[in-house]
């Protein structure tokens, strides 16, 4: 699997699936979550509401993920995952690793060959970008070792230069 790191807008990348750093309600929010909901159009919110009415009445748990269509996005699929929030005492690195691992599995199950991640839990959820980068890159590499040829490419599409640099340092080291 090829791993690439770039600065950009995840809502515009040409991949089979993108990962949304969602909140547990799945009903949109700020940052990456709000941008994805805005770019995907109102059908994404309706799909998330349908999940809440059916299989996820209490919302999506931290470290878990679920897939919806991408609707108006270039990506066919959106994998929604809820990262741990350090400000709420969610400091276990395994919860963050689970976001990446579960998202990879669901993207592969959806027959995606290419997947783009944001920096899940960096930013408003209080995780240091270097720590997120280390956990993300290590988890992706370990998942690829266990699931060879399941995905062709994982792209980390990061909004800020600082976060992109943190991921670049990790991937090179």
Instruction: Give per-residue pLDDT as tens, 135-147.
Output: 999 999 999 999 9
- The CA distances from residue 82 to 60, 146, 169, in Å, are 7, 23, 25
The pLDDT, as a whole number, for residue 73 is: 98
Structural domains in the chain, CATH included, are 2-172 (3.40.220.10)
Question: Residue 173: is its pLDDT beyond 80?
Answer: no
Torsion of CA 79, 84, 85, 91, to 10 degrees: -160
Enumerate the active-site residues: 33
Helices (H) and strands (E) in the chain, counts: 5, 6
**3-class secondary structure, 141:** helix
- Work out the pLDDT band at 19, boundaries 50, 70, 90: very high
Maximum alpha-carbon separation in the chain: 44
pTM (predicted TM-score): 0.97
DSSP state of 15: S
């Amino acid at each position: 699997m090829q791993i690439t790191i770039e600065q950009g807008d995840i809502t515009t990348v040409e991949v089979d699936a993108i990962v949304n750093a969602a909140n547990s309600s799945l009903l949109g929010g700020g940052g990456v979550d709000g941008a994805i909901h805005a770019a995907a159009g109102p059908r994404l919110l309706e799909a998330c509401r349908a999940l809440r009415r059916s299989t996820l009445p209490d919302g999506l748990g931290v470290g878990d993920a679920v897939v919806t269509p991408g609707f108006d996005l270039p990506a066919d699929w959106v994998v929604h995952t809820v990262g741990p929030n350090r400000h709420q005492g969610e400091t276990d690195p395994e919860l963050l690793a689970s976001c990446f691992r579960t998202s990879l599995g669901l993207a592969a199950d959806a027959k995606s060959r290419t997947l783009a991640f944001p920096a899940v839990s960096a930013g408003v959820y209080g995780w240091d970008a270097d720590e997120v980068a280390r956990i993300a890159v290590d988890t992706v590499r370990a998942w690829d070792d266990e699931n060879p040829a399941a995905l062709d490419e994982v792209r980390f599409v990061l909004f800020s230069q600082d976060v992109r640099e943190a991921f670049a340092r990790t991937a090179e080291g």
